[in-house]
Amino acid sequence: MCGPAHFVRTAQAEERIFDKLANKNFLADVRPLLSANEAASFDEEAVRTAFRLVFSAFIKRIPRHAWGKTAETAERLAMTDLVHG
């Protein structure tokens, strides 16, 4: 038997993904999931590139209202293109 459907709102998704980016353990959590070559090159720049891709391709497509702190957080992280792009 299936339970009730659970939907993630845009605001929740944005808050959660920014929290992951801010979490310094995130790199350590992701590296074991990658091949040796990928893990060796998975640095801060790669994280930011992947973050931008996920945010633009998935998070921004979730219907509803954005998280109230998205613009502020994106600016603090020098990623304003996520909001204005």
Residue 74 lies in a domain: yes
Q: Does 2 map to a domain?
A: no
User: Quick one: CA torsion of 56, 83, 65, 51, rounded to 10 degrees?
Assistant: 40
Residue 4 in any domain: the answer is no
**Domain-located, residue 32:** yes
Residue 1 lies in a domain: no
Q: Is the pTM of this model over 0.75?
A: no
Q: How many domains does the chain have?
A: 1
- Tell me: the pLDDT tens digits for 61-79? 887 788 889 999 999 988 9
For residue range 2-46, what is the model confidence (pLDDT) as tens digits? 555 566 788 888 999 899 888 878 778 888 999 999 988 888 888
Token pair belonging to 82:
């996520």
Can you give the residue range of the structural domain that contains 58?
10-84
The answer to the question of residue 51 being in a domain is yes
Q: Is residue 5 part of a domain?
A: no
SS3 of residue 75 by DSSP: helix
